[in-house]
């Protein structure tokens, strides 16, 4: 079944995302930063050695010193709950940032863990801040990135607050697909680096429910799934599932 694309898909984990395809580069790109300023930004970024599956980028309570950009692989962020369990906050794909929530707190309120072998850029925050004083457009873009994070969280709020299990899983798959598209990867075929457990945790569902949904989606011809390999067959219908809210909860709420 379409094994020809497999090499491209599998190699995704090895591909290094160039800075120009990275969200972080949007810190300068749209406002037309000069090469010298770009050079300055590039200079403060540290490129860490790859982290292996299961390794932590930072732990809860670690002192906040830097934000991170994913170059390859994938990272999950999660926070401990009062009873010793965890809540998955997000999955971070190549070109995306992590650690933004810590800026206010001086220490990290959540932990970050590699879902597979990954590489990241570490951007020391105080240096970034100093640099942004010299480069106003950088400061503006920093705010933009934070604002985008707020937007993302709020759309997730809507997901968890209003949507059914079916809609939640569909929404996650669509989100992954869209984000892969932005990075130039396949929209319809990709690797789920996170476990069913992580997915259920993230979506506020039991693992069993996630499993059953994958089975149902497959029966309905929406996708095929083999372990962690996903192939979306009917993207429009999946998207409709993800965006549509339930049949209609009685009457109109006050506008």
Partner DNA sequence: CGAATCCTTGAACACCTTCAACAGGGGTGG
Partner DNA sequence: CCACCCCTGTTGAAGGTGTTCAAGGATTCG
Q: Quick one: how far is CA 52 from the chain centroid?
A: 18
Q: Is 197 in the site for a second copy (CB under 8 A)?
A: yes
Among positions 7, 11, 81, 226, the unique one binding a second copy when judged by CB under 8 A: 81
Write out the two tokens for 191. Answer: 């690797």
Q: Which stretch binds a second copy (CB under 8 A): 7-15, 44-52, 148-156, 216-224?
A: 148-156
CA distance linking residue 43 with residue 16, whole number of Å: 18
Q: Which stretch binds DNA (CB under 7 A): 13-21, 92-100, 151-159, 223-231?
A: 223-231
- According to the binding rule CB under 7 A, does residue 210 interact with DNA? yes
CA torsion 170→171→175→176, rounded to 10°?
-30
Q: What are 123's two structure tokens? A: 């951007």
Distance (Å) of CA 177 to CA 7, 182, 199? 18, 9, 15
- Comparing CA positions, the residue from 149, 176, 198 lying closest to residue 242 is 176
- Helix axis angle, 136-162 relative to 125-134, nearest 10°? 130
Q: Is 206 in the site for DNA (CB under 7 A)?
A: yes
Cα distance between residue 212 and residue 218, in whole Å: 10
Q: How far is the CB of 203 from DNA (least distance, A)?
A: 8
Q: Total number of residues binding a second copy (CB under 8 A)?
A: 55
Residue ranges binding a second copy (CB under 8 A): 79, 81-87, 89, 100-105, 109-110, 129, 132-133, 136, 139-140, 142-151, 153-154, 156-158, 160-162, 197, 201-204, 243-245, 248-249, 252-255
Binding site for DNA (CB under 7 A): 164-166, 195-197, 204-212, 214-215, 225-228, 246, 249-250, 254
């Amino acid at each position: 079944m379409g094994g020809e694309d497999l090499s491209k898909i599998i190699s995704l984990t090895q591909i290094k995302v160039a800075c120009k395809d990275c969200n972080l580069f949007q810190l300068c790109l749209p406002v037309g930063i000069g090469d010298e300023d770009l050079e300055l930004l590039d200079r403060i970024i540290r490129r860490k050695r790859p982290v292996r599956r299961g390794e932590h980028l930072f732990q809860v309570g670690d002192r906040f010193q830097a934000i991170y950009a994913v170059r390859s692989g994938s990272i999950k962020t999660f926070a401990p709950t009062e009873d010793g369990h965890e809540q998955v906050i997000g999955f971070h794909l190549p070109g995306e940032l992590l650690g933004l929530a810590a800026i206010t707190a001086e220490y990290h309120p959540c932990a970050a863990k590699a879902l597979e072998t990954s590489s990241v850029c570490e951007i020391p925050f105080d240096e970034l801040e100093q640099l942004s004083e010299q480069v106003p457009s950088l400061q503006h873009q920093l705010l933009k990135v934070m604002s985008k994070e707020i937007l993302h969280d709020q759309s997730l709020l809507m997901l968890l607050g209003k949507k059914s299990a079916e809609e939640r899983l569909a929404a996650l798959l669509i989100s992954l697909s869209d984000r892969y598209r932005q990075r130039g990867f396949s929209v319809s075929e990709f690797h789920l680096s996170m476990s069913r457990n992580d997915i259920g945790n993230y979506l506020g569902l039991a693992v069993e429910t996630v499993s059953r949904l994958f089975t149902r989606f497959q029966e309905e011809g929406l996708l095929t799934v083999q372990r962690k390999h996903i192939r979306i067959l009917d993207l429009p219908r999946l998207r409709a599932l993800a965006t549509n809210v339930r049949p209609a909860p009685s009457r109109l709420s006050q506008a």
